Structure 1
Amino acid sequence: MLHVLRRIQGLKCFTLHAKDGDIGRLREVYFDDSSWSVRYLVVETGNWLAGRPILITPEALGPIYEEKWILQVELTREQIETGPSMDVKKPISRQQEEEYHRHYSWLPYWRSDLFGHLGQESKNENKEEAAGDPYLRSTAEVTGYRIEARDGEIGHVEDFIVDEKDWVIRYLEISTHQGWFGKKVLVAPAWIEQVDWKDRKVRVDLLREAIRSAPEYEEGQIIGRDYEVKLYGHYGRSQYWE
């Protein structure tokens, strides 16, 4: 499969299509904050299922058809309709996840290395969290989090860049302060020092000047390997693909 990186906002333009019909549009993504792997897509079903949001795991995803604006889901509408109902406005418990994977006869991701990870140790776990699974986070929740370099604040999270090959978040799209003329840059999760979920802050192990002079990211641009080599070279960091 080709190496394709996509913005979450861009994926919202695609219709998710089951084997026997449309099921809805992407609303947000749940990711594992220890590996930044995408665990679930939250799908708005519109008139179908009375608008009840549903969860789709990357394990169920098929190809993306660019010309038709379709993201294929290798399930039937009946399989989805009869699946366990989960309130996506509340934390998802491990018990609910167990029921979900059991319905589809899938091995849960926490018992498998199917999707792999970035090799980054979790530095941002909140041990006091009791409700639900403390490792699942929403892109909708994290959008807007402030970004702090080692020497000061630099902007906020505007979007996420996902690798559709193995469904991991490769980059956070950062919008810098107006003083930098609204420049956008990309920061990899591996460069994050800490996430303060309570105060909505992401602290990165980088200096402001390094971020200021980083290769600019323009919304909607194709992120090719040449750009990534330049980005990683600028920061002097090891490349994830090696």
Structure 2
Amino acid sequence: MAHDGGGAFAGATPAHAFDPWSYREDADVTGGDVVGYKVEATDGGIGKIDSASHDVNASYLVVDTGPWIFGKKVMLPAGVINHVDHEDRKVYLDRSKGQIKAAPEFDETTYGDPTYRDKLGGYYGGTYGAPGSTLPPTA
């Protein structure tokens, strides 16, 4: 999908400024507990949700990647979640496996670290990715 130049990808929802730490209104994350759900990047599965935060302006998922990244966990800001399928117990992201793998490394001590959160939020860029997009995030 083409970038519209206004901070969002054409066809992506919502079409307003990217907020890395808030769930999109149309993502349906609040429809239930997502811990244990499988997580799908634009190009395949990356693991299962280990924990989820619904804190205002500080929401995120921690995903256990299993063998995909040698058993590491990754922290994903809420804004990269495209939608949730509660029936199939899957969370769909608008970022690729490569983008997630290249993100700033997460460890159990970084949950509330403002420096890490700023770095991670900045890494995922100032735009919502388009589903199926392989464009790298902007800095």
- Please give the range of the TM-score, normalised by the shorter of the 2 chains: 0.5 to 0.7
Asked if structure 2 preserves the Cα contact closer than 8 Å seen for 1:160 and 1:169, the reply is no
Contact map agreement 2:103 2:123 (CA 8 A) in 1: yes
Alpha-carbon contact 2:40-2:92 (below 8 Å) kept: yes
**Structure 1, gaps ≥5 residues long:** 1-116, 126-134
- SS where residue 182 of structure 1 aligns? coil
Partner of 1:146 in structure 2?
38
- Map of 2:32 onto structure 1: 137
- The 3 A distance-change label for structure 1 pair 222 and 190 is closer
Shift of 1:147: 0.5
- Does residue 229 of the first structure (1) align with residue 118 of the second (2)? yes
Provide closer, same or farther for how the CA distance between residues 218 and 149 of structure 1 changes in structure 2, counting only shifts above 3 A.
Answer: same
TM-score by length of 2: 0.65
Alignment of 1:63-142 (within 5 A): 118=22, 120-124=24-28, 136-138=31-33, 142=34
The gaps in structure 2 that reach 5 residues or longer are 1-20, 128-139
- Partners in 2 of 1:194 and 1:235 — Cα distance? 17
| AA partner of residue 160 (structure 1) | A
> Which one-letter code corresponds to 1:176 in the other structure?
T
Question: Which letter maps to 1:192?
Answer: I
Higher relative contact order (CA 8 A, sep 6+): 2
- Output one character per residue of 1:185-226: Cα deviation in whole Å (capped at 9) or x when no partner: 111222111111111100000010010111122124452221
RMSD between aligned residues: 2.5
2:66 maps to 1:156? no
Question: Secondary structure, in 3 states, of the residue corresponding to 1:230?
Answer: helix
Identity, % of aligned positions = 36
Which residue does the alignment assign to 2:71? 182
Please tell me whether Structure 1 or Structure 2 has the larger radius of gyration of its CA atoms.
Answer: 1
User: What is the CA–CA distance in structure 2 between the aligned matches of 1:237 and 1:180, rounded to whole Å?
Assistant: 26
Structure-2 residue corresponding to 1:111: none
2:121 alignment partner AA: Y
CA contact (8 A) 1:173 1:184 kept: yes
What is the aligned partner in structure 2 of residue 191 from structure 1?
80
Return the alpha-carbon distance in structure 2 between the equivalents of residues 170 and 119 of structure 1: 7
- The equivalent position to 1:209 in structure 2, one of 79, 87, 98, is 98
- In structure 2, how many angstroms separate the alpha carbons of the residues matched to 1:160 and 1:232? 16
Query: How many residue pairs align between the two structures?
Result: 107
